[in-house]
Amino acid sequence: MILAMGIFYGGLGQIIVGIMEWKKNNTFAATAFTSYGLFWLTLVALILLPKTGMVEASTPKAMGFYLTCWGLFTAVLFLGTFRLSRALQVVFGSLVVLFFLLAAGDFTGNATLKVIAGYEGIFCGLSAIYTGLAQVINELFEREVAPLGMMK
């Protein structure tokens, strides 16, 4: 189920939204959505391709570097959220923490770190759901119904 979500909702869905945002000249959203869509597709490939025998499985250290790179990329996007909204700051800030916790878990093999990352990931996901749905609701009602903490 998670792999299917990674391919279609996390992967293809976000890439489509990123292209739509690019057409609206929204560079931040276009970059974020297409990048994370491709993140999900590469993550699924890293999990599934070794099962086919086509490639060797990634080592935990390699996965740690992969996640660290995504953490650094996300940290740069996090800086951009200071021009957007508090809600996006929470989403991207917690995503930075998530990537680094996951990377640390892979580098150290510490199962507790991975559990903490799991809970932090739930928080990040819920904050992203709130932010996305709040944007939809606010647009539909043409006023702020669900606060996002827009930056001035």
The pLDDT tens digits for 36-76 are: 999 999 999 999 999 999 999 999 999 999 999 999 999 99
Q: How confident is the model at residue 152 (pLDDT cuts 50, 70, 90)?
A: confident
Domain residue spans in the chain?
A: 1-57, 59-152
Given a cut of 90, is residue 32 above it in pLDDT?
yes
Given a cut of 90, is residue 14 above it in pLDDT?
yes
Mean pLDDT across the chain, nearest whole number? Answer: 97
State the average pLDDT over residues 82-101: 98
Q: What is the pLDDT of residue 88?
A: 98
Kindly report the pTM of this predicted structure.
0.95
State the average pLDDT over residues 18-43: 98
SS (HEC) of 17-82: HHHHHHHCCCHHHHHHHHHHHHHHHHHHHHHHHHHHCCCCCCCHHHHHHHHHHHHHHHHHHHHHHH
* Alpha-carbon distance values, 38 to 8, 10, 92, 121 (Å): 11, 8, 17, 18
Say what percent of the chain tops pLDDT 90.
97
